[in-house]
Amino acid sequence: MHLTAVEQAVGNPFTVLTEIHLHSNDAGTRRYFALCDAQLDWVERLALIDLLCEGAEQHDTRIMLEDEKAKTRQMQIRDKGSDAKYEVLIRSRRLGEDTGRNVILNIAGQLRALQAGEQGRCRPLTDDERNRLRTIQAMF
């Protein structure tokens, strides 16, 4: 899964671009494709963003941007309810005018904003979807 966040600093002439790449192990991949087949991939996307938020809170995901060059952080996260594990690569860069000041970026904050946006767009599960989700979760 790939996520992209664009953050415009209020009152500053620059923007921060963050790209997050998740690479799952076999268990995570199988679960994702099972949920896609059940047309519940949006549920897994929301669950992965939740898992990313938890992981970012447990790891130091602050990044100091000193110039326009990309900076990276890596972490591993694990779904406690299954054997799914994820390698996470976070890459951020500042775009726009260089103010001469460093920018400390809180990736956990960006992820919480993504999480709130996704939750706001998602509808509640129907009874049928909830049953399909439980069936798939029991397999993993």
The pTM for the full model equals 0.86
The pLDDT value recorded for residue 10 is 86
Residue 109, both tokens: 């904050």
pLDDT for residue 44: 93
| pLDDT by 10-residue block (mean), the chain, 140 residues | 90 94 96 95 94 92 94 95 94 93 92 90 94 91
pLDDT at 9: 78
pLDDT of residue 64: 96
pLDDT at residue number 90? 96
